[in-house]
Structure 1
């Protein structure tokens, strides 16, 4: 009797912003502008960090990789959102939904680990400056980036399979703008406590642990900075970390709120808001934060534009 109302789902309906039927065209233009801005801004970071000799350092190597992940991360969700807004066809097959969720989780975890790697880079640079060239050599940087990509893949692919291997009940309407875990779990049938438990474990391993590593790194960095006698040195040290800290707060703040809320307190509007925050706002402001707050980057852009504008 418990499984009498189970529906064999073949597709979901992504409701998205269907509650605003008169604003579909306006929303399409807004999100298209945002997507193009993300592609251009993060693409510019990738180009400049690769072509400017002055930026061939571990910090900018990680920043270039982070920008690449931001482009991939956004491209998993925004093109589909734009297509739905333009065509008004909101259906997505079960397979496409699973692929979207899988890539979204993997890229989100990669971004999480890269943020912790960037914090570790700043820790070594400020707290152990004499050993920095030895510790953060090219081989170590490549290994850290590869590790950020592959560490969570097996677990997250298994998590995605587990979500879609179970039955879904009743309506196939997904109250979200893309196939995200909390919204899918809302439609899952039967006892989902096991799935919820593994979601919390994944959040701890792939989000909270990297965040705690970042926090630990910055506690050590702060202690070292406060010991500096020169005000100029302290100001310079703070400025190299402030951009990264802003991105960390934006990414982790919205992501943890969305994923750690209980199923009973789940709100579609809240989840939509915070999910849009971490798939759109963070990738969009990342180039602005690093470009406008970094003198070396501004100088590199000036040289690049003056070279090709002449």
Structure 2
């Protein structure tokens, strides 16, 4: 892009880049794939006659959506052969993301996992309509459906998501409090304390991607999750530090093993008890936790 630093096309693209990345990331759950989508969008954008583009922002969002849909369909095949649970790629986010409740909720690990249960078209329609408030006509042009069909898809996707997302928005302070209690129980090996922090039906998902050791299936229930975690830490015989961080707009923990980041632990909180634990160990998904990623809905 540097060769075109003064081009009007570049100026417009750069002005909307954070928005386009956010759209692609929410559709894909992968920063690496979102970056590839932006590169593909950029290559097509610079070939256009801008005088024929009435609304550059809308046009760029439409292009990004189409490229994301193509990528999402190919990712489905990759996920089917993925070793163990597939979790979204965590992003170190800036304070302004955490302060924007709507944005933070839309990129939370819990919601991103719910979006994984939608079809590619349903996900695109939901993200554009519910997160970015794009009009039905514009969405129809992006996903090659009629506006009437898009309305039906949006309604179906909304019902699907609402039945599975957390019951209420949870403040950062409540998440931090739960993480503090969770961390103390792990540091002390307090099995009963951990049981008290976890919801009875808690789910632990670990993503090693076949590169790092991880449970190949979700672990269900407070007793099994507690024993898996306390037992695993006891057997590891390593020095583990639990460092507070903020990923995807919410407090989380970075687990540092023998001085090196081993993974990111995010949680889902329901009624002040942890109902979801999401531990990303796959090193290919930890490339965006050292520097802040700028996200925006506008």
Under a length normalisation based on structure 1, what TM-score does the superposition of the two structures give? Answer: 0.28
Which structure shows the higher strand fraction? 2
Which structure shows the higher helix fraction? 1
Tell me: higher relative CO, structure 1 or 2? Use CA pairs within 8 A at least 6 residues apart.
Answer: 1
